[in-house]
Structure 1
Amino acid sequence: MTQKMALKRNHHYLKLGLVVVFLTLVIGYAQAQSKGLPTPSPQELAQVRHQAESGDPRAMFQFLKKSRNLSNEEYRRWLSKSAELGYGPSLFRLAKEEVPAIAPTGTKLMLAPRIVSHKDRIQQAHEHLLSWAKEGDVESMYVLGAEYRTFSNLDISKNNEGIYWLRRAAQAGHPDAPLNLALALFESGDSISERTEGFELVKKQALSGNCISLHLICRAYIYGESKIGLPRDKAKAQEWIDLLAKYCGDDETAIYPIHSRQTK
Structure 2
Amino acid sequence: MSARSLARATFRGFLRASRVLDEQLSRTQASQASEVFTEREHEELTEILPRVFERLKGRTVADVAREEYRAASASEEHLSDRLDAALRALRTLRMRLERMRVMAPSPCSDATTRGVRVRVKASLVPAQTAPVMERYVYAYEVEIENENEEAVQVVSRRWRVVDEDGNAEEIEGSGVVGEQPTLAKGEKFSYTSATVLKRIRGSMSGTYVCVSQETKEVFEAEIAPFALTPPRFTKEDAAADSEDDEDDDIAALTRESAPL
Question: What's the TM-score, normalizing by structure 1?
Answer: 0.23
Q: Whose relative contact order is higher, 1 or 2, with alpha carbons under 8 Å and at least 6 apart?
A: 2
Task: Answer with 1 or 2: which has the greater Rg.
Answer: 2
Higher helix share: 1
Name whichever structure is richer in strand by fraction.
2
